[in-house]
């Protein structure tokens, strides 16, 4: 008996007992739906959490701070690791690192036209900016050789206020509502404009530093949205001007940044050796998320402190793997219960078709043909149940996402609609193959019993 005839015969046998076949298949449909929906909930929740983390920062970026190595007892080993050019070269040698940029961080007030406000200034190597997952929404990113340019995050422009606001604040005329209310400003207004920061040193001298806005970064609420980026050499010049008249042996350098009437004083601690040329931090870009976690561990082994959003993923993945296992197990139990229904249906079919089985053996059907026929019927029940179960799973998943979209996406800092239930292609393939496997497994015992029937006794049976 060829395979096509076998499938036709299996379909005819199932079709003769429509109600019983439907009820048995219904059990498989419910079991498959349970597996698809349960696993999709675990996958969807994990994906939503990952997307939420990605919206706040890059998963392939590591921020390295200076640190120290410790022995097993917690005692420091050697001197504190400094963030200097040697450290930059050391990180570039690590396999899987795509780009490395030293960075300085300065905070203060700046002027933008007739407005002034706080500015968090980060100086990086301009040539590495395109490799650090920065994306320009308007204008361009910094390029190698740039000087006197600045790239703003989307929210930076909203830090600037008119002088009238500060005048009212000085007179105590601002209410709490005035402080909370802030109109959103189109960041495009800053394009091709100049931002000025006036630096004061310890000698009482001051010097303005002008930056031309050449780009606005993507991301309304990301980690870059509140920062402004300038070439590293420009920040070095600003730091050098601030340090004039300051003792080189001082363990702390004072920065005074002012604009108009406002003045902000911040401090940057130098290294233990008194070397103020050390960078505030170093940015390391990796090839992928898995590489981020590995490289982060290597950097820690070198004695540095580092942080990455990807570090949080490992714990989240373990948690959601456990959730998926539990939810999948619940769905699997439902499908196993359905398998008992398939076994019962096939055994009842043997009792009803005893004479038919005997005739088939007498006219030349082999044991393999009989065995294959019952397995084909059981597998077909599993296939149909799995197919319709997947369709029902999509429907239930859609209802869950519709009912939960307000709860999941409410207040989320992302333009993308997150889904609590997500069905990837591999889950569809797994559910269908698993339901077929369960069907065939449930048909093994009935098929074995059919093969064991005596042809003579089977023909005599009415």
With respect to residue 365, please indicate whether it lies within any of the assigned structural domains: yes
Statement to judge: residues 278 and 323 lie in one domain: no
* Residue 276 pLDDT level (bands cut at 50, 70, 90): low
Distance of alpha carbon 6 from the chain centroid:
48
With respect to residue 267, please indicate whether it lies within any of the assigned structural domains: yes
Does the pLDDT of residue 174 top 80, yes or no? no
Statement to judge: residues 321 and 423 lie in one domain: yes
Does the pLDDT of residue 254 top 50, yes or no? no
Which pTM value belongs to this model?
Answer: 0.60
283 vs 332, which has greater pLDDT? 283
Q: What is the DSSP letter of 173?
A: -
Share of the chain above pLDDT 70, in %: 74
Return the pLDDT at 167.
Answer: 63
Return the pLDDT at 38.
Answer: 87
d(CA 423, CA 400): 12
With respect to residue 63, please indicate whether it lies within any of the assigned structural domains: no
Distance of alpha carbon 436 from the chain centroid:
33
Return the pLDDT at 267.
Answer: 38
With respect to residue 430, please indicate whether it lies within any of the assigned structural domains: yes
Least confident span in 7-16, 85-94, 422-431: 7-16
DSSP string, 307-351: E-GGGGHHHHHHHHHHHHHHHHHHHHHHHHHHHHHHHHHHHHHHH
With respect to residue 311, please indicate whether it lies within any of the assigned structural domains: no
Residue 12, exposed/middle/buried by CB under 10 A (0-12, 13-18, 19+)?
Answer: exposed
Return the pLDDT at 451.
Answer: 74
Statement to judge: residues 151 and 259 lie in one domain: yes
Statement to judge: residues 329 and 450 lie in one domain: yes
Return the pLDDT at 149.
Answer: 93
Mean pLDDT across the stretch 105-109? 84
Statement to judge: residues 12 and 97 lie in one domain: no
Paired tokens of 340: 């008992």
Statement to judge: residues 151 and 278 lie in one domain: yes
Statement to judge: residues 329 and 212 lie in one domain: no
* Residue 432 pLDDT level (bands cut at 50, 70, 90): very high
* Residue 416 pLDDT level (bands cut at 50, 70, 90): low
Mean pLDDT across the stretch 139-153? 91
Q: pLDDT tens, 352-398?
A: 677 777 777 777 767 787 778 878 888 888 899 999 999 999 999 88
160 vs 407, which has greater pLDDT? 160
d(CA 132, CA 234): 19
* Residue 154 pLDDT level (bands cut at 50, 70, 90): confident
Statement to judge: residues 279 and 162 lie in one domain: yes
Domain ranges, residue 136:
87-285
d(CA 462, CA 450): 16
What stretch of H or E contains 109?
A: strand 97-112
What stretch of H or E contains 254?
A: strand 252-259
d(CA 453, CA 193): 92
With respect to residue 292, please indicate whether it lies within any of the assigned structural domains: no
Return the pLDDT at 461.
Answer: 58
Return the pLDDT at 122.
Answer: 92
Statement to judge: residues 408 and 274 lie in one domain: no
With respect to residue 71, please indicate whether it lies within any of the assigned structural domains: no
Q: pLDDT tens, 194-221?
A: 999 888 887 778 888 999 999 999 876 6
Single residue among 235, 269, 285 that ends a domain in this structure: 285
Statement to judge: residues 255 and 386 lie in one domain: no
d(CA 353, CA 71): 77
Helix axes 18-56, 425-452, angle to 10 degrees: 150
Statement to judge: residues 108 and 203 lie in one domain: yes
Return the pLDDT at 171.
Answer: 63
Least confident span in 51-60, 96-105, 183-192: 51-60
80 vs 229, which has greater pLDDT? 229
With respect to residue 39, please indicate whether it lies within any of the assigned structural domains: yes
Residue 179, exposed/middle/buried by CB under 10 A (0-12, 13-18, 19+)?
Answer: exposed
273 vs 436, which has greater pLDDT? 436
d(CA 130, CA 148): 18
Paired tokens of 426: 């591999």
Return the pLDDT at 204.
Answer: 79
The candidate with the shortest Cα–Cα distance to 37, out of 389, 440, 298, 348, is 389
> How many domains would you assign to the chain?
2
Return the pLDDT at 258.
Answer: 37
Share of the chain above pLDDT 90, in %: 14
Return the pLDDT at 343.
Answer: 85
Q: pLDDT tens, 303-317?
A: 888 887 766 666 677
Mean pLDDT of the chain: 77
Statement to judge: residues 243 and 359 lie in one domain: no
């Amino acid at each position: 008996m060829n395979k096509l005839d076998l499938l036709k015969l299996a379909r005819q046998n199932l079709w003769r007992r429509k109600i019983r076949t439907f009820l048995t298949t219904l059990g498989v449909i419910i079991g498959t739906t349970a597996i698809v929906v349960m696993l999709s909930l675990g996958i969807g929740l994990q994906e939503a959490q990952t997307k939420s983390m990605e919206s706040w920062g890059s998963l392939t970026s590591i921020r390295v701070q200076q640190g120290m190595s410790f022995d097993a007892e917690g005692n420091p080993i050697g001197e504190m690791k400094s963030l200097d050019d040697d450290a930059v070269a050391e990180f570039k040698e690590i396999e899987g690192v795509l780009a490395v940029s030293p960075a300085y961080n300065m905070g203060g007030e700046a002027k933008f036209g007739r407005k002034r406000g706080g500015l968090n200034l980060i100086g990086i190597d301009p040539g590495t900016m395109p490799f650090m997952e920065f994306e320009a929404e308007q204008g361009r990113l910094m390029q190698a050789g740039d000087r006197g340019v600045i790239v703003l995050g989307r929210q930076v422009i909203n830090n600037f206020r008119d002088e009238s606001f500060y005048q009212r604040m000085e007179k105590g005329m601002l209410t709490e509502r005035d402080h909370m209310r802030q109109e959103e400003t189109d960041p495009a207004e800053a394009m091709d404009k100049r931002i000025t920061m006036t630096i004061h040193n310890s000698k009482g001298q001051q010097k303005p530093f002008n930056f031309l806005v050449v780009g606005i970064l993507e991301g309304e609420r990301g980690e870059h949205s509140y920062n402004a980026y300038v070439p590293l050499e420009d920040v070095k010049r600003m730091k050098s001007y601030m340090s004039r008249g300051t003792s080189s042996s001082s363990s702390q350098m004072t920065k005074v940044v002012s604009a108009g009437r406002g003045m902000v004083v911040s401090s940057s601690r130098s290294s233990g050796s008194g070397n103020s040329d050390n960078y505030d931090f170093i940015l390391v870009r990796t090839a992928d998320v898995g590489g981020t976690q590995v490289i982060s561990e290597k950097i820690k082994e070198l004695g540095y402190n580092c942080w990455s959003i990807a570090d949080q993923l490992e714990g989240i993945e373990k948690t959601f793997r456990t959730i998926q296992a539990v939810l999948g197990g619940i769905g699997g139990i439902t499908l196993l219960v359905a398998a008992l229904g398939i076994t019962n249906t096939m055994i009842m079919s043997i009792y009803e078709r005893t004479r038919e089985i005997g005739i088939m053996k007498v006219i030349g059907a082999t044991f393999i043909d009989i065995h294959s026929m019952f397995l084909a019927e059981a597998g077909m029940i599993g296939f149909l149940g799995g197919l319709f179960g997947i369709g029902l799973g999509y429907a239930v998943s859609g209802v869950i996402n519709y009912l939960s979209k307000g709860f999941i996406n409410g207040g989320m800092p992302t333009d993308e609609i997150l889904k609590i239930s997500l069905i990837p292609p591999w889950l569809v393939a797994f559910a269908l193959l698993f339901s077929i496997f369960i069907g065939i497994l449930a048909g093994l015992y009935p098929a074995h019993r059919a093969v064991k029937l005596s042809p003579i006794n089977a023909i005599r049976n009415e």
